[in-house]
Amino acid sequence: MSSNQNPIILRFDNVSFAYNDGKHPILIDSDFSIRQNTKITIMWQNWSGKTTIFKMITWELKPQSGKINIVNWNTIAVARQVIPRDQLHLTIKEFFETAFDEKDYQLDKKITEVLKVVNFNVPIDKQIKDFSGGQQARLLFAYALIQDPDILLLDEPTNNLDEEWINDLLTFLISYDKTVVVISHDSDFLNIFTDGVLYLNKASYQVEQYWWDYYDVVEQIAAQIEKEQMQNARAEKKIIDAKEKINFFSNKWGKMRKLASKMRDEVQEAEENKVELRKDDKTIPQFKIPFENYVWPIVTINKVWLMNSNHEVINYKLPLVMKKNNRYILIGPNGIGKSTLLKRLMMIHQYKENIMRKYKAIIEDKTKSDIIIKEPDTMHPEEDIAMIHNKVRVGYYSQDFNSLDMWMLVRDSLYDIAQEATDQNIYKVASQFLLTWNLLKSNIWTLSEWQKWLLCYARFVLQKPHLLILDEPTNHINFRHLPIIAKSLNTYEWAMIIVCHDKWFVDQLENIETIDLWKLIK
């Protein structure tokens, strides 16, 4: 039996759902089905509601009208994008315990077995926070698998993963004999194993279903959009021509006036024949990250902190001085310490900044002007290992967005980082990155992952950094935006350190040198 003839396992019947009291519709009377033992991709446009679909499948959200039928009460498990912050303190065992409503006396055995499936050999009493983003992605996948679901939902499963684990994941999914539904921006990954695509059309608020591989669907949708555009162009031309003749004939008598009346009917028919074009992703325009001059070394690294095969953190020599135009990418397997290196650099830098900020505040306090104040010793305990030099402005993109204050308003976050920007500058940059007035008034924690990504890059433009530290900067965006980001980074003339597992994106970056951390351990 071919995949598109398998029994239906889940069905949406005339489902409608909207946010903001109906002002932001996601689905309107939408029908689609998912068949047993198929691999389905949800293809989306940003803000179209892909995550909402997942939440409705798992009953986190209920439809406002229509029905969602899960045949024979098939079970569902989700491998989410990130582990919730309030669970990072848990051990691996405690984390897996939350997958079950009742105590499972075979849990240790099940954890051992599922960790073998994801090729992850670690003690189960280790805390989640001690693992890298890629290792946490494996745990999220294992968390879903240990529930042995009939329907497996994967939300951006390749985020933070190295090439080896992506290949392992592909091998598993191809041979997996149950239903899988995937949200991902990784088109190469999707094209290998996808049986069909659910496409969320933002113009009609309907889900369109296709039974071909991913790239075929992309081409077919592009052809359909072109066809709709041509249909509207022909109708518009007919309308314009008819209106010009109507204006002429309306001033005549007899048959000419009757002809004008007939042509008005034709114009109305042409207007009705125009189709509402599906709105493709709103894409940000090309942008440039400005900077201000700085003549001294920007970063000095003497050693790096890396984790060896015995899960021991050891310092390894890496003499490196970064100046203007130096651009490096760190590579190595998940868990070796790439993101840790970036975080420690920022930790040292922020420590010095905080000390100097307090010192400056004391100097500016006139009530203490009679006190003799010695400039503080700002040496961080680890500054002999690595440091970002004084007065360097750092733009930091963290894969988990922990560089953002989640309780701050989006607008305040932009003002806080801006270098002498006016209100006009702030709103212009916000608009460039699709941050609307309503979003500017929102707390950062309410934003989608994609909107947080937009905020980070808007902050870079306002900050004018001398150094960019980018930890998985392509997470949470679809492939249409990658060329824009790559081009913008290529025009950036200052120092950059990047960790990124998206091979296509890395290949677009110019004049970038590779530091293989795995070779240091060997």
DSSP state of 220: H
Q: What is the pTM of this model?
A: 0.70
Which CATH number goes with the domain that contains 404? 3.40.50.300
Question: Is the same domain home to 231 and 207?
Answer: no
Q: Give residue-wise pLDDT tens across range 438-479.
A: 889 999 988 888 889 899 999 999 999 999 999 998 877 766
Question: Is the same domain home to 200 and 226?
Answer: no
What's the pLDDT band for 342 if we cut at 50, 70, 90?
confident
Which pLDDT belongs to residue 225?
66
Q: Which residues contact 148 (CB under 8 A, 6 or more apart)?
A: 75
Which pLDDT belongs to residue 302?
86
Q: Give residue-wise pLDDT tens across range 251-297.
A: 655 566 666 566 666 666 666 655 554 544 567 889 999 888 888 88
Instruction: Check if the beta carbon of residue 49 is closer than 8 Å to that of residue 200.
Output: yes
Dist CA 440 CA 461 (whole Å): 16
CA distances from 19 to 16, 47, 62, 64, 170 (A): 11, 12, 12, 10, 35
Dist CA 441 CA 435 (whole Å): 10
Which range in 30-34, 274-278, 379-383 is most confidently predicted, on average pLDDT? 30-34
**pLDDT (mean) for 374-401:** 72
**pLDDT (mean) for 385-408:** 87
Instruction: Check if the beta carbon of residue 465 is closer than 8 Å to that of residue 127.
Output: no
Question: Is the same domain home to 167 and 304?
Answer: no
DSSP, residue by residue, 134-157: HHHHHHHHHHHHTT--SEEEEEST
Q: Give residue-wise pLDDT tens across range 484-508.
A: 999 999 999 899 999 998 888 888 9
Predicted confidence (pLDDT) at residue 367 exceeds the cutoff of 70: no
Q: Considering the domain boundaries, does residue 288 fall inside one? A: no
Question: Is the same domain home to 198 and 228?
Answer: no
Question: Is the same domain home to 127 and 53?
Answer: yes
Question: Is the same domain home to 200 and 269?
Answer: no
First to last CA, the chain: 50
What's the pLDDT band for 375 if we cut at 50, 70, 90?
very low
Instruction: Check if the beta carbon of residue 494 is closer than 8 Å to that of residue 297.
Output: no
Question: Is the same domain home to 186 and 237?
Answer: no
Residue of higher predicted confidence among 189 and 260: 189
Q: For the stretch 211-227, what's the b/e string if a residue is b when 16 or more beta carbons lie within 10 angstroms of its beta carbon?
A: bebbeebbeebeeeeee
Dist CA 214 CA 210 (whole Å): 9
What's the pLDDT band for 85 if we cut at 50, 70, 90?
confident
Q: Considering the domain boundaries, does residue 289 fall inside one? A: no
Q: Considering the domain boundaries, does residue 265 fall inside one? A: yes
Which pLDDT belongs to residue 271?
64
Q: Considering the domain boundaries, does residue 291 fall inside one? A: no
**Per mean pLDDT, which range of 5-19, 199-213, 415-429 is the poorest?**
199-213
390: containing domain:
299-366+375-521
Q: Give residue-wise pLDDT tens across range 98-107.
A: 999 888 889 9
Dist CA 220 CA 278 (whole Å): 13
Question: Is the same domain home to 268 and 411?
Answer: no
DSSP state of 326: -
What is the tally of helices (H) and strands (E) in the chain?
16, 17
Q: Give residue-wise pLDDT tens across range 190-231.
A: 778 888 888 887 778 888 888 877 777 777 766 666 666 676
Predicted confidence (pLDDT) at residue 245 exceeds the cutoff of 90: no
Q: Using CA atoms of 338, 344, 345, 346 in order, give the dihedral in degrees to the nearest 10.
A: 110
